[in-house]
Amino acid sequence: MSDIAMKFRSALDAEEYCDVELKLKSGSLLKCHSVVLLMNSDFFRGRLQSRWTTKETPTIDCTMFPDDIVEHLVKFMYGIHFPLHMSNIHDTIQCCDYFGASELLDKCVQFLIDGISCDNVFTILLISESFSLLSVKNKCFEFIDCNMENLLCNSEGFFTLPLALIVQIISRDTLSVHEELLFDHLILWVEQQTVDLEPIWEKLSGHIRFLSMSVEYFITKCIPLNVLPNEVSNQILMYLTVFEPFDVQGIKVNVVSRCITTRHDVLVKRFFRKSVDASWKSDAMNGDRINFIVNTGATLKGVSLYGSAGQSFIYTVSLHEAGNGHLIQKSKCKLDFVSDVCTFPFKTSCLLAADVTYTLVAIREGPAVFYGVNGVLSNHVHVKEGRKLEIKFEKADVGSSTIFEGQFEGLLFSTVD
């Protein structure tokens, strides 16, 4: 059996048996076969379905797109594939949309989904919004959920987004980012807007998790901007400073905490059992301390802490180099414990080097808590490509923690080198 597709491609190259012409932007004519266009495009099907009533060769105006984009579209209909890349994807999708070329559009959609990265996710999100590509948009949101900290700290793409997309991103409970870091960048984004800022903050504030901030941050960053009514700000201040049960549903802000952990995170546990009662008292002077060493470069995203279900505590957690006491990171927030353990995220993740001793310090305000017992000297988990992340724990010079009991249940890592 002869290969009809191959014969059509040869006839296209030789301009043989062509019965339709496409006028290109440059003024040149691209000669084609109407049957191929009819079978692959809703647009051409509508324009050519009655062409057999005339003997003239029809000429169809295609000058609204660059020559190469139209030529690629036509060649794709003949089974001649061409490389897609970010520099031509917008025009290609627009051309597919106009001409009703669904097969090539599907290829463009898959190209965008497969190519999402930290370098281009916001560009792809804008494209998906422009052409209502819901599957691409959802994949972008999933990627942003897991990589928001990296995107905010290392990309300018966030500042190119319109208000509608900003709102859609920050409204997501699955957005894994520290609320103070997010708010820092929202301030910068708002400062770049040229319209009245008050309506912008009104649209943003309903999705910001103010209850996940420290009271110091809320006072210095949020209150001066007047993003909330005074009554609401006072309610938030009260919540952030008390340990007693508080009806957060009465505060007119989003009270749902974001899901900080993602499917890519790794929790390396120090304890697998807890005490029988909540009797671990706070040490305001030295806090709960533990030294640890990693066997490979890794990114520490936060820690898992013991508390007490149904209780609230204010934690200040810091990370230091044990040798010189250098402060690497320090974060503070109020935690409402649903169970006896809770994840505490750093504002920004901490890059750790292999074979360096680090010290974690947790200072707690609030009642006594549960604590871990029968702690391990070391623990490991298998990460990507069969490699192993191993943590060795050591007693710190001060503090009430030992290797075998303490308040740090485990360490949360986001990436491993």
pLDDT digits (tens, 9 = 90+) for 193-212: 877 777 899 999 999 999 99
* Alpha-carbon span 150 to 138, nearest angstrom: 19
pLDDT one-digit tens code per residue, 229-247: 999 999 999 999 988 778 8
* Alpha-carbon span 234 to 228, nearest angstrom: 10
Q: Do 303 and 358 form a contact (C-beta atoms < 8 A)?
A: no
Q: Do 268 and 391 form a contact (C-beta atoms < 8 A)?
A: yes
Residues 411, 318, single domain; the answer is yes
Instruction: Please give the average per-residue pLDDT across 49-75, as a whole number.
Output: 77
Residues 270, 412, single domain; the answer is yes
pLDDT one-digit tens code per residue, 328-374: 999 999 999 999 999 999 999 999 999 999 999 999 998 999 999 99
Q: Which of 114, 129, 156 is the last residue of a domain?
A: 114
pLDDT one-digit tens code per residue, 321-330: 998 889 999 9
Residues 181, 208, single domain; the answer is yes
Residues 110, 17, single domain; the answer is yes
Q: Which of 208, 223, 250 is the last residue of a domain?
A: 250
Q: Six-digit token pair at 128? A: 């998906």
Q: Is residue 261 part of a domain?
A: no
Residues 386, 284, single domain; the answer is yes
- What's the pTM? 0.88
Q: Six-digit token pair at 58? A: 């029809």
Q: Is residue 291 part of a domain?
A: yes
Q: Is residue 56 part of a domain?
A: yes
Q: Is residue 178 part of a domain?
A: yes
CATH label of the domain that carries residue 26: 3.30.710.10
Structural domains in the chain (count): 3
410 beta partners: 269, 304
State the Cα torsion 334-337-340-341 to the nearest 10°: -60
For residue 88, give its domain range.
4-114
With vertex at residue 268, the alpha carbon angle to CA 265 and CA 270, rounded to the nearest 5 degrees, is: 150
64-83 b/e (C-beta count within 10 Å ≥ 16 → b): ebbbebbbbbbbbbbeeeee
With vertex at residue 361, the alpha carbon angle to CA 358 and CA 367, rounded to the nearest 5 degrees, is: 160
Q: Is residue 397 part of a domain?
A: yes
Q: Is residue 295 part of a domain?
A: yes
pLDDT one-digit tens code per residue, 3-13: 666 766 676 66
Q: Is residue 138 part of a domain?
A: no
* Alpha-carbon span 202 to 335, nearest angstrom: 26
Closest CA to 206 of 165, 159, 138, 255: 255
Residues 278, 177, single domain; the answer is no
* Alpha-carbon span 362 to 286, nearest angstrom: 9
